[in-house]
Amino acid sequence: MVLAVVPPPVTVRVPAKVNLHLAVGDVRPDGYHDLVTIFQALSLVDEVTVAVADEPGVEVHGEGADQVPTGASNLAWRAVRLLAAHVGKDPDDPKVRVVIRKAIPVAGGMAGGSADAAATLVGLSSLWRLEISRDELAELAGKLGADVPFALYGATALGTGRGERIVPVLGRHQFHWVLAFDRRGLSTPDVFDELDRLRAEGDPPRVGPVEAVLEGLSSGDPRQLALLLGNDLQAAAVSLRPNLRRTLRAGVDAGALAGIVSGSGPTTAFLCEDGDTAVRVAAELAGAGVCRTVRVAHGPVPGARVITTEEPK
């Protein structure tokens, strides 16, 4: 008798991102915007476990789990189906269970759903023992969403196109951040629509050249980088959530070098001089009553990677 060997479950850790620079072009006829952005992967991570299972599906636990769909629209499940089809498995019956433990805020502008999709691609490549390069996975990742390829690579990177074309930015320096989570999420399309509306009415501020930010990064000096952080979506996010103005002020008053809205918001990210300062800023911000919760993080950190392959019981 031949027994089929069931491979052990695979757990992948995947980082959130913050955009140190986010330049948004004018809306194109197809409704999209061209972006020039610098992503940094932070030590705020989701963990995604994939396992062979007779009862396929997605389970979500942790931060904001009740706001995450567990059906076909979950980005991790879309990743399962896409990779299954790509390697000749049945996407309607992939015999996989995905368990997501979230720490990245949902609809927070930190690309948590994209991170889970990237983690699922990496986890399944290991579970199914696929000979597939990161670049090939990145091709697939780009079909799932503009932020998914970056979550595969992590570290610091320049993103163009819709953000899916990634070039690594080299550098050895660590930066220290405080993240303030808002009480509710913000829809990314709503924030882009609001930016289009603000631009039709007036002239909201635009970020400067990306080259200056790249220089600031390579200096390793958080004071220099702090002066260069910028996000074209910030005006739109603040317009939809005026309370963010108060949060941004409170972080700087607490001792951060600078604060920005992360991506489409509403999470705000504060760059600090060092790790000790970040802990102090986080404590003060938590007491200021301007946000739901705060986290300390550092970056850059690596992209999605396998942390355990559990032995079968």
- Cα 304 from Cα 43, distance rounded (Å): 12
Minimum CB separation of residue 261 from ligand ATP in Å reads 11
State yes or no: residue 19 binds ligand ATP (CB under 6 A). Answer: no
Applying CB under 6 A, which of residues 123, 216, 222, 263 lies at the interface with ligand ATP? 263
Please report, as residue ranges, which positions from 138 to 197 form the binding site for ligand ATP (by CB under 6 A). Answer: 147, 185, 188
**Contact status, residue 110 vs residue 39, Cβ threshold 8 Å:** no
CB neighbour class for 170 (10 Å; exposed up to 12, middle 13-18, buried from 19)? exposed
**Nearest alpha carbon to residue 31 among 141, 198, 192, 186:** 192
From 5-13, 113-121, 128-136, 173-181, span contacting ligand ATP (CB under 6 A): 113-121
- Distance CA(129)–CA(123), nearest Å, equals 10
Our CB check for ligand ATP shows the closer of 233 and 257 to be 233
- Cβ neighbourhood burial of 38 (10 Å; 0-12, 13-18, 19+): buried
Cα Rg, the chain, nearest whole Å: 20
Does 41 sit near ligand ATP (CB under 6 A)? no
Window of 104-112, 130-138, 204-212, 220-228 that interacts with ligand ATP by CB under 6 A:
104-112
Closest distance of CB 222 from ligand ATP, Å:
23
> Which residue in 46, 116, 147, 232 is the catalytic one?
147
Among 73-81, 284-292, 295-303, 304-312, the segment contacting ligand ATP (CB under 6 A): 73-81
290: helix, strand or coil: coil
Among 241, 259, 240, residue whose Cα is nearest residue 250: 259
Nearest to 241, CA basis, from 182, 177, 293, 304:
182
Q: Which is nearer to ligand ATP, 268 or 277 (CB)?
A: 268
Q: How many residues bind ligand ATP (CB under 6 A)?
A: 22
Tokens at 16, concatenated: 């959130």
Query: Which of these segments, 100-108, 169-177, 282-290, 305-313, binds ligand ATP (CB under 6 A)?
Result: 100-108
Nearer to ligand ATP among residue 222 and residue 303 (C-beta): 303
Of 52, 106, 214, 233, the one binding ligand ATP by CB under 6 A: 106
Q: Is 68 in the site for ligand ATP (CB under 6 A)?
A: yes
313 given a catalytic annotation: no
Check binding of 108 to ligand ATP (CB under 6 A). yes
CB contact burial 238-264 (16+ within 10 A = b; e otherwise):
bbbbeebeebbebbeebbbbbbbbbbb
d(CA 236, CA 242): 10
Among 109, 142, 251, 300, binds ligand ATP (CB under 6 A): 109
Q: Which is nearer to ligand ATP, 24 or 76 (CB)?
A: 76
Indicate if 17 belongs to the active site. Answer: yes
| Per-residue CA distances from 103 to 93, 162, 202, 301 (Å) | 29, 25, 37, 15
Euclidean distance between CA atoms 213 and 5, whole angstroms:
51
Shortest spacing between CB 212 and ligand ATP, in angstroms? 24
Interface with ligand ATP (CB under 6 A), residue from 40, 43, 49, 114: 114
**Interacting residues toward ligand ATP by CB under 6 A:** 68-69, 73-76, 100, 106-114, 116, 147, 185, 188, 263-264
Give catalytic residues, as residue numbers: 17, 147
